[in-house]
Amino acid sequence: MVSKEEVEELMLKYFPKCPLCGASEGYEVSGVVKNYVQCRACGAKWWSNDFVKCKELKQLKLWEPAYDGTGAALKFKTFSVKFWQDKEAIEKAIADAEAKTKAVDSNKLIFRSEMSDEEIQDSIRKSMVEIASWDWGSTLYGQLGPLISDTSFAEATIIRLLRAIFEQNKILIMQNELIRRALTQNK
């Protein structure tokens, strides 16, 4: 098995300076087969299968971002050595990944700060209509449900119930936002 010194030496050969923070303080080697290296300065940690043989380093997977969060957007992503040696490429990849997460996140939000009160009220109405359609219990089928011992039927009932609860929570969150807005306006 390779020694920790050999692994650190290989890493230093390709990366005398840390790909993320640029410090040249060397790397802490860890793992049962010594396939993790961690920058002594910023704490960023990489994993590579190439350390097992310790001959040539081809790619590195970012296992943990730096202590200050640098590189978090690239966590668990594997890139070539060439990429990790290219500071501009790394910065671009981080910016791209961050932009992507941001876009997804704001689409998933129940409400966004730029929404007007009317838009939120409209959303609340939509959720209430949703709840009415998921309110299985009040329908004839819903009342007959417990009499029919059918698994898929029971599953469908649970899904409807969960959907209704989810919509209910959305309404509460949106109503809270409207109340918060009203309160802060009065100040």
Output DSSP code: residue 29.
E
Tokens 């590195």, located at residue: 60
Residue 39 engages Zn ion in binding (rule: CB under 5 A): yes
Does residue 42 interact with Zn ion by CB under 5 A? Answer: yes
Q: Which range, of 2-10, 38-46, 91-99, 142-150, touches Zn ion by CB under 5 A?
A: 38-46
Whether the Cβ atoms of residue 33 and residue 1 lie closer than 8 Å to each other:
yes
- The whole-angstrom separation of Cα 167 and Cα 116 is 20
Nearer to Zn ion, 41 or 74 (CB): 41
Check binding of 21 to Zn ion (CB under 5 A): yes
> In this structure, are residues 14 and 57 in contact, taking their beta carbons and an 8 Å threshold?
yes
Other beta carbons less than 10 A from residue 156's beta carbon = 14
Q: What is the rounded end-to-end Cα distance, in angstroms, of the chain? A: 68
The smaller minimum CB distance to Zn ion, of residues 42 and 120, is found at 42
Q: How many residues bind Zn ion (CB under 5 A)?
A: 7
Q: Does 41 bind Zn ion (CB under 5 A)?
A: yes
Q: Which stretch binds Zn ion (CB under 5 A): 32-40, 72-80, 144-152, 169-177?
A: 32-40
The smaller minimum CB distance to Zn ion, of residues 4 and 181, is found at: 4
Structure tokens belonging to residue 173: 């969150």
Instruction: Rule CB under 5 A: say whether 18 interacts with Zn ion.
Output: yes
Q: Which residues bind Zn ion (CB under 5 A)?
A: 18, 20-21, 39, 41-42, 44
